[in-house]
Copies of this chain bind each other. A is one copy, B any other.
Amino acid sequence: MILWGYWRSSAAYRVRIALNLKGLAVEHRFLHLRRGEQCAAEALALNPQGLVPALVLDDGNVLTQSLAICEYLDEIQPAPPLLPHAPVARARVRAFAQAIAAEIHAVQNLRVLNRVKALGHDQAAANAWAQHTIAEGLAACEALLRDRPGSVRQGPFCFGAAPGLADLALVPQLYNARRFGVDLTAMPRLVAADAACLALPAFAAAAPERQPDAE
């Protein structure tokens, strides 16, 4: 398999973590997002959305969208699982991951910040947009991890004693939060889960600065 990514892409970072957790080796290739390489014709042939990641399977099939790719990896290589077994628990984990992917990351990624600048705003305004989006979104994610009536949340990871789909969405988003200077002091559950993840080799090896295309 070939993973097309970019060191600072949150979405590619999620897939790198999933591959590491599963012990799956891939060839890494890179598209430089700030130089617009994801919008070249060959890149659009892989992913018409002009985004990373794209995972090219050995038979030539191309998969896109990081959470869909992670669930694919979970289906072809079930151990260790990225989702719990019970339907309600699975739904909670997926909802947490989607809250980050859709309501936070998709609204603060490079493409949308460029749209804000195209409206006539400067980089500081674009950064403020990102900060607001991340802070508001993570506050809701912190609340999604609160204890529920009749059950006390188990840590140290987002949803229990092992990392999963929620954690591989969380860690890249907290990396972004720190880049943009978001105050995380009111989010102790998120910060604790992130710390537990970063202590694991599968997460540490997927960090942006550890990638060959890091600048």
Contacts and interface: CB of A to CB of B under 8 A. Distances in A.
Contacts of A88: 57, 61, 63, 72
Contacts of A49: 99, 103, 137, 140, 144
B119 A112 contact: no
B101 A98 contact: yes
A91 B119 contact: no
Given A72-B88, A119-B125, A94 B67 contact: yes
A149 to B, nearest CB: 7
A49 to B, nearest CB: 4
Contact of A95 (B57, B64, B75, B116): B64
A65 B99 CA distance: 7
Contacts of A125: 119
A91 B107 contact: no
A28 interface: no
A40 to B, nearest CB: 15
